[in-house]
Amino acid sequence: MTRATYDTAEDRPADAVLDGRRVLVTGGTRGVGRAVVLTMARAGAHVLTCYRQPGPAVDSLRAELGATSGDHRLVRADVRHDEDVRDLIDECRARLGGLDVVVNNVGAFAPKPYPELSRAEWDATVDGNLTSAHLVTQAALPLLSAGSSVINVGSTVTSIGMSGGAHYTAAKAALVGFTRSLARELGPAGIRVNVISPGRIDTEAMDDLPPEVAARQRALFASFSALGRLGGTAEVARVALFLASPAAGYVTGQNIHVDGCV
């Protein structure tokens, strides 16, 4: 199974450039988040992203951004915690002077059969997928103005369910309701709020598996899609680019599935 990649600057839609716009992406060093960071930076935005732990993914992203025009920065922050969120938004204020786009990409999921699901595991999943988006969005509001865009990263699991994922599904479903309500509340200020719900996406997590296991999983997950393949991270990122751009000026309160029709 060939991974779909569309990562070059030439692939960006002509009407979705972000020249000079200021973007915050949470959890931007791996997977979909990394693709969003690089896609928006290559579209002309100034991008600030955060990570929880240092490592090779952080170092390689820093190098890629260093070779991309614009003012880009990586900040260590755990957006499940109020104090880290305050520091992160203070850095956005000091470094960028404001924000035009917020992408709440951070997520957390560890499968667990429902009868065995502990309160601590429930709380950690809700904090990682829902509370983090609330904390970042609320703290960022003073930096946003008319024309700004908030993009939450959800999951198609909210439509189809998942055995062993009741906690994750509940948190992502709540994120959709959160988005819809914020779209109504912030709309009068000219701030748009949307959700992107990816399906099965081919990320580095697959590459971390033994090759034979990864091949079986890619084939299995591809069979669920009408297109017969997994999605690429850049394909999700290009939807985020659209939602961040003036091209999506009348799009708000929407849950956009990027799942190949599962």
Active site residues: 168
With beta carbons less than 8 A apart as the criterion, state whether 68 and 42 touch: yes
CA–CA distance, 230 with 160 (Å, rounded to integer): 17
Q: What residues contact 60, with CB distance under 8 A and at least 6 apart?
A: none
Q: Read off the tokens for 246.
A: 């003036």
Among 262, 189, 208, residue whose Cα is nearest residue 231: 262
Ramachandran category for residue 253: left, alpha or beta (phi over 0 → left; psi -120 to 50 → alpha): left
Q: Read off the tokens for 76.
A: 């260590």
